[in-house]
Amino acid sequence: MKYYAYLRQQGEGCDYTIGCAQTLKIFDADSDVDAQVKLSDIIKDEYTGETKLEKVILLTQPIEFDLKKVYDELENEKKLKKDKYQHIKDLEDFERLRNKLGK
């Protein structure tokens, strides 16, 4: 089973706006206990000395997110807004021409 560990170091790292003191580790484990052992080994190997951690969150069972759907919805909303604007502009042009040329 895949496990995901969010690791945040103490302090802000190089620049808090880009989050260099944060990382996501992805690894396989047979059980929650095995995952904790593996994560403990990762921490011991990579986050000792000056790079101590402040927070760790261990996750499993990710939920797939349909990002394409979100962007498609945004595009549709933009198109509807553009079409509505064009319709209003066409009506204004129609009224202007009708008044200019007579009813």
What single-letter DSSP state applies at residue 19? T
Band of pLDDT at residue 18, cut at 50, 70 and 90: low
**Tens of pLDDT along 71-91?**
999 999 999 999 999 999 999
Whether 52 shows a pLDDT value over 90: the answer reads no
**Which residues, at least 6 apart from 5, have a Cβ–Cβ distance to it below 8 Å?**
24, 25, 26, 27, 39, 42, 56, 57, 58, 59
Band of pLDDT at residue 46, cut at 50, 70 and 90: confident
What would the mean pLDDT of 1-18 be, rounded to a whole number? 78
What would the mean pLDDT of 25-51 be, rounded to a whole number? 91
- pTM of the complete model beyond 0.85: no
